Amino acid sequence: MTALLRRSDSANPGMRQGHLDSVALFSTGWKKFGLLLGLAIYLLGPLMLSDFQLSVIDYAGIAAIGAIGLNVLTGYTGQISLGHGFFLGAGAFTAAYFGGNLDLPLPLWLAAAAVVGALIGLVIGPFALRLKGSYLAIITLGLVFLGQHIFENWKSVTGGLSGRAVTAPVKLGPVDFANLDIGGKEFSREGGYFYLIWAVVALVALLVKNLMRTRLGRAFQAVRDRDAAAEVIGVRLARTKVMSFVVSSSLAAVAGALYGSFQRFVNPEEFGLFLSIEFVAMIVIGGAATIYGPVLGALFITAVPFLIEEWSDRIPGVATEAGETGITVFALNQALFGLLIIGFLVLEPRGLAALWARIKVYFLAWPFSY
Amino acid sequence: MANSKVLLDVKDVSLSFGGLDALKNVSYQVTEGELFAVIGPNGAGKTSIFNCLNAVYKPQTGSAKLDGVELLDLRPADTAELGIARTFQNLALFTNLSVIDNLMLGRHHLLRSGPISGPLWWGKARREEEVQRRRCAEIADFLDLADHGSMPVGALPYGVQKRIEMGRALAMEPRLLLLDEPVAGMNQEETEETAHHILQIRRELGIATLLVEHQMDLVMDLADRVMVLDFGQVVAIGEPAEIQRNERVHQVYLGGAS
Ligand SMILES: Nc1ncnc2c1ncn2[C@@H]1O[C@H](COP(=O)(O)OP(=O)(O)OP(=O)(O)O)[C@@H](O)[C@H]1O
Ligand SMILES: [Mg+2]
């Protein structure tokens, strides 16, 4: 076969370049520009934004890590999960235990969370992923309630119903992100965490991007697009879906660990169904099966409640003080997320990222006009 | 046939769904490098023959051996590793992925990177990607698929998608290629191109091929031997000229068609 194929080697120089193009990550001018812009925001953000704004963006970064994780399972592998919140909880309590009780350093409690998330995913995946579609949604929903039960009763680790403090150290060598000091310039806790959290976001995005352009990640996408065809070309369906679940759970747990550490206190209640639904909303609104979609979704979903809070006295019918009549900010959030999910599913199933993708496809497809 | 070593040996395969016999005591052999066509009216069991070789269907009785290895005990993914590649009657591409990624998936069983080395990218995984992508680009060139870049293949014309499926099968480096109606729905020009590619695969790559096709002149032109199926049973096996002369074939198939 090689001999024959070699003959046509010089036939199409375009393809020659094309296949290596897709090996380079930031191949186009726009992507390079985006990278530089991102870097500038990363470096300057904590110098220019208020602590309140930084804390919103910190929470959004944590959410982005979890959303990228859910997107591996849902966007890239086509498997729905309502259990994502549970894995955030598992990560948060792992950080609380390994970082707090055992006083392990930052890289170790983060890694411990990743490993615990992966292991739980590995144990549960084979049972859950036998099912498809709404059955999978229901069984992962069960996971949330099972998790709540465990979190509320495993008191020595989770603190039970009343929750627990998270005192995991956030030092990396001489750098303490909770008290960041660069050459005499002191940063707030929010500013320090901003650097830590968004560095992790960037790292996770890069790792997932690489995963998706290599063997396993391609197999995820094959399973999503056509599972029967994937199987006859040699993709082991069960194993592949479980691997996707493992990656997804592991990233959720990393997000949970950072969440606990940033918030300094966690409570089992936080890791219920609503959190899972927020993550589904993030990837629906942001756009599945891209790397930046879930990040956009996370920024959006995290910022909305704060914006509502900020403007609540100007929105009619919202109760801002206890005792006032009207719906609460929390209830308004829930209703709004519901509406957003439905709205995006109906009007733009591919989310915020889709507009850009559609423009791109249009130009790539030229001169075919469909 | 220049090389008459038996590659695929199918004996007495019977497959039924509930009360319906899709295949009844089907036996045939395909030799190395042979282009073996399977024809028959709609519902005769042609696609079922492929699904058995792929271990997608489990026949109730019989055996199918590829170079001595029993296929019927395997799982679909194993047949890929053994060297069986196929295209589907109805397109079954990974529609959101590019041509190259579809071909790369054909090579899935030849690749090694995993959940750690893939994300880390540098080193082993990267080298593997580069080498294999180059190979896929060659295969894309071979099938004139080179100018579709990173377009999701679902957006490409039907005829092109059919050809990409052939490319994905070739990318598997198969020993036995199963083509299920490769020119169905194609216009004259696309049909001729595809016929040319099938010939090239046979002549220059020497891959044994099972071809299911309704278009009779194509089958008679290309095939070394033809097997005629009707209601799941083998009516005749022989060279195209013999098949065209065969009375029973005329009755069940050619007679009805013309
Ligand atoms: N999964 C299945 N379940 C039930 N019956 C099936 C199944 N697959 C095939 N059959 C039946 O088996 C018989 C043979 O089908 P098959 O698809 O192999 O025919 P074919 O020769 O490929 O036909 P066509 O030319 O229409 O593609 C048909 O009667 C079909 O309805
Ligand atoms: Mg068929």
Estimate the crossing angle of helix B158-171 against helix B124-142, to 10 degrees.
Answer: 130
- Which residues does a 6 A CB cutoff place in the pocket of ligand 1? B 17, 20, 22, 40, 42-48, 89
User: What's the complex ipTM?
Assistant: 0.93
What is the amino acid identity at position A133? G
Please indicate if any CB of chain A lies within 8 Å of the CB of B151. Answer: yes
Spatial distance between the Cα atoms of B198 and B142, rounded to a whole number of angstroms: 11
Mutate which of B78, B79, B105 to test chain A, going by most A C-beta atoms within 10 A?
B105
B199 touches chain A (CB under 8 A): no
CB–CB of A230 and B141 under 8 A? no
Residue B222's nearest CA partner among B205, B245, B239, B244 is B239
Quick one: average pLDDT of B3-18? 92
Q: CA B70 to CA B196: how far, in whole Å? A: 32
Q: Do residues B198 and B209 touch, judged by C-beta distance below 8 A? A: yes
Q: For testing the chain A interface, which of B108, B117, B147, B153 should be mutated: the one with the most A CBs within 10 Å?
A: B108
Nearest residue in chain B measured CA to CA from A205: B119
**Inter-chain residue contact B104 with A230, CB threshold 8 Å:** no
Per the listing, tokens 């792929």 go with B54
How many C-beta neighbours within 10 Å does residue B206 have?
Answer: 16
Please state, as a whole number, how many other Cβ atoms lie within 10 Å of the Cβ of residue A349: 11
* Residue B194 · residue B182 · CB < 8 Å: yes
Asked whether the predicted pLDDT for residue A184 surpasses 50, the reply is yes
Spatial contact of A263 and A95, defined as CB atoms under 8 Å apart = no
- A62-81 residues labelled b (16+ CB within 10 A) or e (exposed): bbbbbbbbbbbbbbbbbbbb
What pLDDT does A17 receive? 45
Closest chain A residue to the Cα of B54, Cα to Cα = A232
Say whether A90 sits in a helix, a strand or coil.
helix
pLDDT of residue A15 exceeding 60: no
Joined tokens for residue B252: 């069940």
**Angstrom distance (rounded) from CA A157 to CA A19:** 50
Mean pLDDT, residues B229-252? 91
Cβ pair B118, B197 in contact under 8 A: no
**Residues A365, B155: C-beta atoms closer than 8 Å:** yes
Whether A365 shows a pLDDT value over 60: the answer reads no
Give chain B positions within 8 Å (CB) of A18: 100, 137, 146, 149-150
Closest Cβ–Cβ partner in A15, A23, A208 for B146 = A15
Average pLDDT over residues A33-41: 89
CB contact (8 A) between residue A23 and residue B139: no
Task: Return the residue in B50, B56, B129 with the most chain A beta carbons within 10 A, the one to mutate for interface testing.
Answer: B129
Q: Which of B94, B138, B146 is facing A14, going by the closest CB pair?
A: B146
Predicted pLDDT at A321: 66
* Nearest listed ligand to the Cα of residue B17: 1
Q: Tell me the CA–centroid distance for residue A201 and ligand 2, in Å.
A: 48
CB distance A120 to A271 below 8 Å = no
pLDDT beyond 80 at A232:
yes
Per the listing, tokens 């295969």 go with: B139
Q: Mean per-residue pLDDT for A133-138?
A: 82
Distance of CA B153 to the CA centre of its chain: 20
**Predicted confidence (pLDDT) per residue in A50-80, tens digit:** 999 999 999 999 999 999 999 999 999 999 8
Say if residues B66 and B42 touch (Cβ distance below 8 Å). no
Ligand in nearest proximity to the CA of B179? 2
Contact residues on chain B for A369, CB-CB shorter than 8 A: none
Cα-to-centroid distance, B21 and ligand 1 (Å): 10
Six-digit token string for B95: 């529609």
Task: Give CA–CA dist B146/B135, Å, rounded.
Answer: 12
d(CA A281, CA A338): 8
Portion of chain A with pLDDT greater than 70, in percent: 84
Mind telling me how many Å the CA of A68 is from chain B's nearest CA?
Answer: 14
Q: HSE on the CB side for A188, CA within 13 Å? A: 15
Could you tell me the distance, in angstroms and rounded to a whole number, from the CA of residue B49 to the centre of ligand 1?
A: 10
Q: Nearest CA of chain A to the CA of B256: how many Å?
A: 33
Q: How many residues does chain B have?
A: 258
Average predicted confidence (pLDDT) for chain B:
92
Beta-carbon separation of B134 and A289 below 8 A: no
Enumerate domains of chain A plus CATH numbers.
48-365 (1.10.3470)
Distance B38 CA to ligand 2 centre (A): 10
The contacts of residue A63 (CB under 8 Å, 6+ apart) are A255, A278, A279, A282, A298, A301, A302
pLDDT at position A25, please?
Answer: 66
Give the model confidence (pLDDT) of B49-97 as tens digits. 999 999 999 999 999 999 999 999 999 999 999 999 999 999 999 999 9
Ligand nearest, relative to CA of residue B42:
1
Question: A with B: how many residue pairs have Cβ under 8 Å apart?
Answer: 164
Per-residue pLDDT of A260-273, as tens digits, reads: 999 999 999 999 99
Distances (CA, A) of B35 to A309, B5, B222: 71, 14, 7
Omega of the bond leading into A367 within 30 degrees of 0 (cis): yes
DSSP 8-state class, residue A98: I
Contacts of A146 by beta carbon, 8 Å cutoff, 6+ apart: A86
Mutate to test the interface with A, among B100, B127, B150 (most CBs of A within 10 A): B150
CB atoms near residue A301 (< 10 Å): 27
Question: Which residue of chain B comes nearest to A228, CA vs CA?
Answer: B92
pLDDT at res. A359:
59
Kindly state which CATH superfamily the domain B1-78+208-258 is placed in: P-loop containing nucleotide triphosphate hydrolases (3.40.50.300)
The SS3 assignment for A320 reads coil
Residue A237 confidence (pLDDT): 94
Residue B35 makes CB contacts below 8 A (sequence gap 6+) with B198, B202, B208, B209, B211, B222, B223, B224
* Best CA proximity match to A340, nearest among A297, A293, A291, A288: A297
Mean pLDDT of A127-146: 86
Contact A232 B56 (CB under 8 A): yes
What is the token pair recorded at A200? 């992790």
3-state helix, strand, coil in chain B (%, to 5): 45, 25, 35
Please report the pLDDT score of residue A16 as a whole number.
42
* Residue B195 CA, ligand 2 centroid: distance in Å: 19
B233 part of contact set with chain A, CB < 8 Å: no
Is A314:A306 a contact under the CB 8 Å cutoff?
A: no
Ligand 1 atom at minimum distance from B89 CA: 27
Of A6, A23, A231, the CB nearest to B77: A231
Query: Measured on CA atoms in the order A351, A22, B155, B215, is the torsion positive or negative?
Result: negative
